[in-house]
Amino acid sequence: MVLSTRLRTFHESREESGVRLAVGDIVVYGPHGAGPVTARESKVVLGERQEVIALALTGGLRVELPLERARKLLRPLATESDLARVQDVLRADRMVSSDSWLKRQRESRARLNDGDPVGLALIIRDSARHEAARSPKGTGARSLWERELATRARALLSTEIAFARDVEPDEANSWIDRQLGDPR
């Protein structure tokens, strides 16, 4: 299966590369998005002194993680090679899935929670293809959960692309639209 190979390759490269956690470094915290490390300090956590890092993520979310936990949960921004794989996924033609809504929901939630850019691109692409395939009478419209997952996946991916390419999120969203074949 090509997809599992793509995802495995992304995760292997993530594990091998490690993540820099210096103040100012931009990192990705899975389903919460990308943002800079804003502080690194020593604090008492669960009764013992530990080094803690603070992140400022989109939407005003501020997260503090013990350093060891941060090394496990955070990853570096997508590279241009990763974004090339995202581009391939977004551009790929794929028939609309005939799987049950429950199976599609489980797969999409797992991809969203993982937060890797290829998985996010799959959610976005499949949602766009599903929307394009619906009948003119409105039957086959995406459910509320599908729209919400696709919106969340797009927000996470466009934020990561914006940080990775040093562009505005609107420009990253336009790039996603162009890959999907939407000339916006």
Ordered domains of the chain (ranges, CATH): 19-76 (2.40.10.170), 80-180 (1.20.58.1290)
pTM of the predicted structure, to 2 decimals: 0.82
Q: Counting beta carbons within 10 angstroms of the beta carbon of residue 159, is it exposed (0 to 12), middle (13 to 18) or buried (19 or more)? A: buried
Q: What's the rounded mean pLDDT across residues 16-40? A: 89
Residues 65/53, Cβ–Cβ less than 8 Å: yes
Q: What pLDDT does residue 95 have? A: 66
Tens digits of per-residue pLDDT, 119-153? 999 999 988 887 777 655 555 566 788 889 999 99
Q: What pLDDT does residue 137 have? A: 57
Tens digits of per-residue pLDDT, 76-107? 999 999 999 999 999 998 666 667 778 888 99
CA distance 184 to 175: 9
Strand order in the sheet with 75-76: 62-66, 48-56, 33-45, 26-29, 75-76
Q: What's the rounded mean pLDDT across residues 145-171? A: 94
Q: What pLDDT does residue 158 have? A: 96
